[in-house]
Structure 1
Amino acid sequence: MKVKIESSKIVKPLYEDGEAPAHAEWVPLSVFDKVTYGEHVALIFAFRPPNPPNSEVELGLAKALAVYREWAGRIGDGPDGRRSVLLKDAGARFVEAAVDAPMAVSLPSGPSPDVRRLHPRIDDGPVELVQVQLTRFSCGSLAVGFAGHHQIADGQATANFLAAWGLATRRLPVSPAPVCDRGTRFSPREPPVVLFPHQEVEYRTPAPNKEGDAMDKEQEEFVFGAVAQDKVKVHRMHLSKEFVVRLKAQASSGLPPSRHGYTTFQSVVAHLWRAITVARRLGAGVTTKVRISVNGRTRMHPPVPRDYFGNVVLWAFPRSDAGELVSRSVGHAAELVYRAVADVDDAYFRSFVDFASSSGAVEAEGLVPTADSEQAVLCPDLEVDAWLGINFHGLDFGGGGPFRVMPTYYPMEGSLFLVPSTLGDGSMEAYVALFHNHLEEFKRICHKIT
């Protein structure tokens, strides 16, 4: 796919009343912002024609940025030394591009290196917190590549902004307005009450720089041995509504009448965790765990508004011996997922806020977040990003929602994205990144329910 870049510019907020705020303002990042990935996350949206001209989409972006000002800011250290976002309306990157071929024969079916040509480069740490690329195809179809800095917004907040962008492009009011109080919302209790271990969960001690200290010999042989030389491939797996229904029924079959059945998310993650463990040929004695994002908006008391703009995510870590995981039922794996996620409740979120805000351990001990995108190999573990409850399909410039939504190409072995189908029929897509020699076995067994 040959993508021709036609223009690149900065789009600044456009205020409806024509008057921008008089002064720049530093807004401290919250404890949830600072513990998440400090990089841009890119999504690809594909639209069939007709589509509005680029000028209208650009105007909509400018209006949306006036409401979501933090996206037009810059991250840095504020006057008090805290990591903050500077609201100075510096703007977002807006790129226009074209492909001289129809989308049907050009757009990859799933994440691949070619997909990265559909959004601005994010591996160089761009200063703009939002980068957008509109790529027009000869058939009139449009690909929108959106890259936003994760420390500014989690998945829910990003989806809210994208919906606002669509409304503004259609010349409709941006409603509801975002709740922008990240600097003051999550205050620690007095005195702080840290009830759970957060070191080596959300935070960790930096690995020593000395050779041989960072990993044991067996791990080193795996990461740098022959198996690690295989290229990481991303497989797009379609899970039909019928498959999901059968999977949930199988997972829930052993539950007592007093228990509700496992959710779609719990059942699908349990099934894929077991299938990937088999495909990796992991055996007894090896511990495997899954990193699962948990949205705290409805878990915290009082609840955080759905329209809160920022991050409110921590992680659950179900774990198991690999041999036991694959020898027991999918229901057993679903129970592990269920319990681990349930444990990340209001008490846990409050404990984290107290630990990260007021214990002094983070700064005193030089702790760093465990959310580390520099990891290339997660085996024997997994990391799940689930968009099942997030309406990324709400981005509508006037011609209807996208017919495809997918992540960009992230060659991180062990990463797993779950995306609801644009068909709206209960089906979904799973994007699974594994080494090529493991992926072939995974594809052979991934639709078998055991």
Structure 2
Amino acid sequence: MANSSAVKHISECFIKPKLVDSISKQPYYVSPGDLAMLSAHYIQKGLLFTKPSVTDEEFDIETFLEKLKDSLSRTLVYFYPFAGQLATQIDEDQHTSLISIDCEKGSGARFIHATLDMTIEDILSPTDVPEVVKSFFDHHKAVNHDGHTRPLLSVQVTELVDGIFIGCSMNHVVADGTSYWNFWNIWSEIHRQHSPISESKLPIHKRWFPEGHGPRITIPFTHPDEYISRYEAPPLREKMFHFSSESTSKLKAKANMQVKETNKEISSLQALSALVWRSITRARHLGGDQKTLCSMDANLRQRLDPPLPQSYFGNSIWVAKAAATADEVLEHSLGWTAEVLQKAVLELTDKRVQSVFNAWMKSPFVYQIGTFFEPNSIVIGSSPRFDMYGNDFGIGKPVAARSGNANKFPGKVTAYPGSDGERSIDLEICLPPDVMSSLESDKEFIALATRS
């Protein structure tokens, strides 16, 4: 490994939408699902690319950066809220705050050029994700409320000896994972000058509100101290595990064979999540009637009636939460555990979603990371269905996806599509060191997982 392991910032600038008249002059009101994210961290995901060879006379890093800035500016025409900042109107008499996006406020999206004297192998070969990867992202430890003074979108391009890492930090009040990767997909398409962009892909900015509510949603707080906290995770090991198409197919077949009477097929992700729930429960040495939880982020767009398009811009997610005792998870079959998870997901119907958000309207709350997860729980976020590896900025397809420091705690699992495509899945798992060591020796888990 190279001697120098510190990321050096070379330059930074701010990017505005290419067409100024695309910026909304009106307040951009946000929904209950957005407001609930105010105390969470920015979304921090990024892609690692192989840098064209030094013998490639057509590649020049400065030219590449200028093209990225230009394509980002053109992409912000469609994603103009990212060029603004959050704004709050306080009503002291009612003890409420109205938070919106001011699309004219602020300097725009930040764009950082950085360098690191390390190689792709230095990043991908260690057993655990190297600590330096956290430095590939701006807004380290920032919470979404900081979007009042910080950019809502920040792009950092870190140049390695033989690679290029593009990391995006995106305010989670503004967008969820589906919107996040739709932004990447459109940006990379614009960068390659594929035009025009399909109308079905362009973000739909009309926010969804529960029936009879919106668009001006207030929260019953007037000072950030009432609803903002800054969570610090305990020491964690972060490791990537790869599940090949063969492994996910085996798991799916096994789970479905064990629940022959079910009316709905267990998916690959549900079967894999069941394996992870079982394996981490064992690694934590839980037993008896100790309560365990497995929560999965669920995209609500197609669960609503009428459904929202996939290009809906904003947060349209909720957590499908499954509970069982440690003995139930460990003594029943993989299929039984997967079915418990599937049931939790299927319960997120339009009726249930409307009920959840109507309850939020009566008693608004903001997620606190420190209390969001419960002891002995795992939380599975992101999705292997997101198109990460289709993002090509003219230097080839990505070789790996990685994340920053944001929204991590004991038991956090992040799902990615596998880099080898088909039905493969990569999981980034965060656990205390002793629990991770136990997971690494779990026979059922390791028989199907390889290092990613």
Instruction: Report the TM-score, using the length of structure 2 for normalisation.
Output: 0.82
Match of 1:223 in 2: none
1:339-382 residue CA offsets vs partner (Å, 9 max, x unmatched): 0110011111122333334x3x33xxxxx23x322359753111
Query: How many Å separate the matches in 1 of 2:258 and 2:288?
Result: 24
Match of 2:72 in 1: 61
Letter in 1 for 2:204: V
1:153-302 equivalent positions in 2, closer than 5 A: 153-173=175-195, 174-175=197-198, 176-182=201-207, 185-189=208-212, 231-256=235-260, 259-302=263-306
Structure 1: stretches of 5+ with no match in the other structure:
191-205, 210-227, 363-367
Seen in structure 2, the aligned counterparts of structure 1 residues 188 and 434 have a Cα distance that, compared at 3 Å, is: same
Give the 3-state SS of the residue equivalent to 2:369 in structure 1: coil
Seen in structure 2, the aligned counterparts of structure 1 residues 118 and 324 have a Cα distance that, compared at 3 Å, is: same
Instruction: Report the TM-score, using the length of structure 1 for normalisation.
Output: 0.82
Contact 2:134 2:140 in 1 (8 A): no
1:429-444 equivalent positions in 2, closer than 5 A: 429-444=426-441
Match of 1:399 in 2: 395
- Which residue of the other structure, out of 360, 381, 384, is the alignment partner of 2:380? 384
Query: How many Å separate the matches in 2 of 1:79 and 1:251?
Result: 52
Contact 1:406 1:419 in 2 (8 A): no
Give the 3-state SS of the residue equivalent to 2:21 in structure 1: coil
1:194-232 residue CA offsets vs partner (Å, 9 max, x unmatched): xxxxxxxxxxxx99x9xxxxxxxxxxxxxxxxxx97x31
Cα offset for 1:405? 1.0
Cα offset for 1:187? 4.2
- Which residue of the other structure, out of 36, 40, 43, is the alignment partner of 1:41? 43
Query: How many Å separate the matches in 2 of 1:403 and 1:10?
Result: 28
Contact 2:22 2:77 in 1 (8 A): no
Query: How many Å separate the matches in 1 of 2:37 and 2:72?
Result: 25
Match of 2:138 in 1: 120
Match of 1:137 in 2: 160
Cα offset for 1:407? 1.9
Match of 2:82 in 1: 71
Query: How many Å separate the matches in 1 of 2:44 and 2:167?
Result: 7
Contact 1:415 1:433 in 2 (8 A): yes
- Which residue of the other structure, out of 113, 138, 141, is the alignment partner of 1:96? 113
Query: How many Å separate the matches in 2 of 1:431 and 1:287?
Result: 24
Seen in structure 2, the aligned counterparts of structure 1 residues 100 and 114 have a Cα distance that, compared at 3 Å, is: closer
Give the 3-state SS of the residue equivalent to 2:273 in structure 1: helix
Cα offset for 1:112? 3.7
Letter in 2 for 1:145: G
Query: How many Å separate the matches in 2 of 1:275 and 1:167?
Result: 40
Contact 1:376 1:413 in 2 (8 A): no
Query: How many Å separate the matches in 2 of 1:167 and 1:249?
Result: 36
Contact 1:100 1:137 in 2 (8 A): yes
Seen in structure 2, the aligned counterparts of structure 1 residues 257 and 326 have a Cα distance that, compared at 3 Å, is: closer
Give the 3-state SS of the residue equivalent to 1:253 in structure 2: helix
Cα offset for 1:400? 2.9
Query: How many Å separate the matches in 2 of 1:274 and 1:102?
Result: 36
Match of 1:151 in 2: 173
Give the 3-state SS of the residue equivalent to 2:202 in structure 1: coil
Cα offset for 1:100? 3.0
Letter in 1 for 2:291: T
Identity of aligned pairs, percent?
23
Query: How many Å separate the matches in 1 of 2:202 and 2:69?
Result: 20
Contact 2:244 2:418 in 1 (8 A): no
- Cα-Cα RMSD: 2.5
1:289-336 residue CA offsets vs partner (Å, 9 max, x unmatched): 122111111111111011111111111110001122111111111011
Seen in structure 2, the aligned counterparts of structure 1 residues 107 and 245 have a Cα distance that, compared at 3 Å, is: closer
Contact 2:141 2:405 in 1 (8 A): no
- Which stretch of the first structure deviates more once superposed, 21-30 or 275-284? 21-30
Contact 2:416 2:425 in 1 (8 A): yes
Seen in structure 2, the aligned counterparts of structure 1 residues 347 and 106 have a Cα distance that, compared at 3 Å, is: closer
- Residue 449 of structure 2 corresponds to residue 447 of structure 1: no
